Structure 1
């Protein structure tokens, strides 16, 4: 069940990519695109929360830690330091 949940969480990012990459280049009217954007947002959220329910509270908390801005900043500083030593 956890693998399905993780798969759903990963798949939930596809509507966001579709909005950013595919939707501007589709030959639809502006009104149709305006209706498609909220539909894709709702779809992404529903898929994400279904996946989060399947993986459980512990896994979601662990991934929230990895996506925390402070943690990402620390990782970026470590990466920067590591790459500075190479050159």
Structure 2
């Protein structure tokens, strides 16, 4: 999941998932800080998978349906790891 996150998510969310990627300041809505404690108690893995599959309406968060289902679940696992870093 870490490699998939690096390839698909760090431009906006940053390497550590804090929402401080190089494109973050150019977006109309700031990327989510995935390590923020409120987020750590937040969405279920199923919810995260859904966002990765269909995107997040009203935000610049794109869908990643071009990734295989297995790869999206690997991303879900890595994002859960990052969320737990904020606890």
TM-score after normalising by structure 2: 0.33
More helix by share: 1
TM-score, scaled to structure 1? 0.33
Identify which of structures 1 and 2 has the higher relative contact order when contacts are C-alpha pairs closer than 8 Å and 6+ apart.
1
